[in-house]
Amino acid sequence: MKAILALADGRIFEGTSFGAQGEVNGEVVFNTSMTGYQEIVTDPSYYGQMVVMTYPLIGNYGVNKEDFESDRPHLSAFIIKELSTVSSNWRSQGTLHDFLTKHGIIGIQGIDTRALTRHIRNKGAQQAVISTKLKDPQILASQASKLTSLEGRDLVKKVTCKNPYEWCEGEWKLDHGKTFFKSDPPVPSRYFIVAYDFGIKRNLLRKLVQAGCRVKVVPASTKAKDVLSMKPNGVFLSNGPGDPAAVKYALKNVQYLVGKIPIFGICLGHQILSLALGARTYKLKFGHHGGNQPVIDLKTNRVEITAQNHGFAVDPESLSSDCAITHTNLNDNTVEGIRHKSFPVLSIQYHPEASPGPHDSSYLFKEFTELLDLHK
């Protein structure tokens, strides 16, 4: 079935649909990863966004439940060059088309994704409409032009858990090339961590367990005093969607926790922590989305290839003298990590838990446990 993608600035792309049918809107961003499409589709950080994959062939290895980052898709729509007609992998449990259809997610293929990506790079990420119903592209473009951006919108409340829960699952292990199984915690739990769910990815939880943590996940609005009453060894601030400055209740809670307990923030958690320490955030032109972002550790001068997914960044000029910038992005010099000079607090903008990879930054979970040991 014919599908139309209309951007807010009037640019039109026509293709064919897969997945669900209908009409949807969201902010268009591009992801440069070559693999990992099912992790991207189920990443809560993409809530409110339409994701363009720059790699041309998508869907060739199907989908499987073990690799989902949450229980369902969260993006608004999925935009690709070509959907594979074959889903061939020994772990595959279904096709990408059927998965998106089941969950009501619209996909569009057959468009020039290189042209679309270049347009976003030049003009910036923007709101858009995809429709399989309305055939007039000018009407769709007019609709897109009236949509509001992600700035000022609290999307965390759309993806956070409703009730606290414990997470005990460690990392996946390959069993002689035949199957995957859930491992027991690889080491005895030495620490108790409370993780704020701003849109948390499952592999973050697995990595925390792998590092020796017993993890309790709590809703994003959980009061800081309630967290401290649980007597954890540390607090983890997760990834998530939208504008960090709009999640004011999280900012207030983190401000209360700073200086009282070790804190580790990732992605949106990094931004919220930076705001709590007095910094400002701003919206990037087209964000960082993909598995090949170079980041330099300013202490060691070691370059890490990282996975990233964010549309906002921390303003380095707004950071107080109590904070040190630990990592920066080699593409645009944006802030990728900070550490407080007095309190046991660190955060990074990228994803050290990335699945399927890269894994250059896994050492950061050890740095967090070292903070926990020092605080003990």
**353 is annotated as an active-site residue:** yes
Q: Among 109, 124, 145, which residue terminates a domain?
A: 145
The domain tally of the chain equals: 2
Helix, strand, coil % in the chain, rounded to nearest 5 = 25, 35, 40
Q: Are residues 203 and 166 in the same domain?
A: yes
State yes or no: is 27 an active-site residue.
no
Same domain assignment for residues 123 and 187: no
Look at residue 169 and tell me whether its pLDDT is greater than 80.
yes
Tens-digit pLDDT profile for residues 249-305:
999 999 999 999 999 999 999 999 999 999 999 999 999 999 999 999 999 999 999
Which range of residues forms the domain containing residue 87? 2-145
Is residue 179 scored above 70 in pLDDT?
Answer: no
- In the structure, what pLDDT confidence band is assigned to residue 182 with cuts at 50, 70 and 90? low
Question: Domain boundary at 145, 179, 214, which?
Answer: 145
- Are 211 and 318 in the same domain? yes
Helix or strand or coil: residue 334? coil
Handedness of CA 79, 83, 87, 93 (dihedral sign): positive
Residues 123 and 160 placed together within one structural domain of the fold: no
Q: 3-state class of 110 per DSSP?
A: coil
Q: Does one domain contain both 307 and 335?
A: yes
Please report, for the domain that includes residue 211, its CATH number. Answer: 3.40.50.880
pLDDT tens string 57-109: 999 999 999 899 999 999 999 999 999 999 999 989 999 999 999 999 999 99
- The answer to whether 81 touches 56, Cβ cutoff 8 Å, is yes
Residue 150 within any structural domain of the chain = no
Residues 133 and 217 occupy one common structural domain: no
Residue 267 bears catalytic tag: yes
Residue 188: pLDDT over 50: yes
pLDDT of residue 174: 62
128 occurs within a structural domain: yes
In a domain, 341, yes or no: yes
Q: What CATH number has the domain bearing residue 16?
A: 3.50.30.20
Are both 78 and 112 inside the same structural domain?
A: yes
Q: Catalytic residue, from 27, 69, 304, 353: name it.
A: 353
Same domain, yes or no, for 234 and 310?
yes
pLDDT over 60 at 48, yes or no = yes
The pTM score is 0.96
**Can you say whether residue 202 is alpha, beta or left, with left for phi > 0 and alpha for psi between -120 and 50 degrees?**
alpha
Q: How confident is residue 178, by pLDDT bands cut at 50, 70 and 90?
A: very low
Marked catalytic residue, from 288, 289, 340, 351: 351
Q: Spot the catalytic one: 27, 213, 267, 310.
A: 267
218 and 254, same structural domain? Answer: yes
Residue 218 DSSP symbol: E
Mean pLDDT over all residues of the chain? 95
